[in-house]
Structure 1
C-alpha cells in the first residue's frame, strides 16, 4: 500500500504512541526479538506484540525468522525506514516515509521535482 493511501491521522497516532516509539528506537539500533524488546523497553510481551502489529500495519517494521542453536525458530523485528518527514503543504499535513531501498526512486523524484520548477 503506498504511503499516500494511508490516513495521516493513523500514521501520526502510530508514531505518536509512546510505546511504539520505544519499540522503534530499540529496533532502530539492531534487530530484536519480541522478548528482547519487552525486556529493553520494560513493556509486557502483549504490549510489545500490539505495537509490533501496529507498526507492521504501516510497514514501519519488518520481521525475519531466525533459528536458535537449539533448533527453535523465532522472529526478530527491525525498522523498515530511514526517516519520516511530516510537512504542512497547502493547509494539509503530509507524511513522507523514506526507506533505504527507495534511494533510486527518491533521487528520480527529486530530479523530477527540480525539473518541474
Structure 2
C-alpha cells in the first residue's frame, strides 16, 4: 500500500463520525436514515462519511426493496479488523482483515509469502 493510500485510510478511520458509523454498521446493516438517527448526524454528513469509507472498501451497500416497491440502500461493514504497525524502517503499514472463506485466505497467504 502506498504511503498516500495509508495516510488516506488512517485519516478515514481517524474521523470520529466515520468511526461512529462503522461501529453502528458492524452490529447490523443500516440505512443512511437509520445511521443519521442513531449517530445523531445529518444525512449529508452520513453520506459523505459513507463515501469516504467506500473509497477504502471498508463498507459495502446493498439495495433493499420495501413492500410498496421503493428502494433504499443499507450499509454494512466490509472488514473484521484493521491493524496499523510501524516497521523497522519507520514506515506505517495498514492491514485490513476481511472475512474470507478458507480458499481465499490460503490464496492471500500464498501471495504474501511469494512476494517476500
Tell me the alpha carbon deviations over residues 39-76 of structure 1, each in whole angstroms, 9 at most, x when there is no partner.
Answer: 00000000000000000000000000000112100000
- Over 3 Å counting, the alpha-carbon distance change for 1:113 and 1:38 in structure 2 is closer
The answer to which of 94-103 and 47-56 deviates more is: 94-103
- Over 3 Å counting, the alpha-carbon distance change for 1:93 and 1:75 in structure 2 is same
How much does 1:102 deviate? Answer: 6.0
Partner of 2:10: 12
How much does 1:104 deviate? Answer: 3.7
Aligned pair 1:30/2:34, yes or no?
no
Partner of 1:53: 51
- Over 3 Å counting, the alpha-carbon distance change for 1:48 and 1:100 in structure 2 is same
Structure 2: gaps spanning 5 or more residues: none
- Over 3 Å counting, the alpha-carbon distance change for 1:91 and 1:102 in structure 2 is farther
* Aligned ranges 1:96-115 → 2 under 5 Å: 96-101=95-100, 103-107=102-106, 109-110=108-109
RMSD: 2.4
In the superposition, the TM-score normalised over structure 1's length comes to: 0.86
Moved over 3 A (4+): 102-114
2:64 corresponds to which of 42, 60, 66: 66
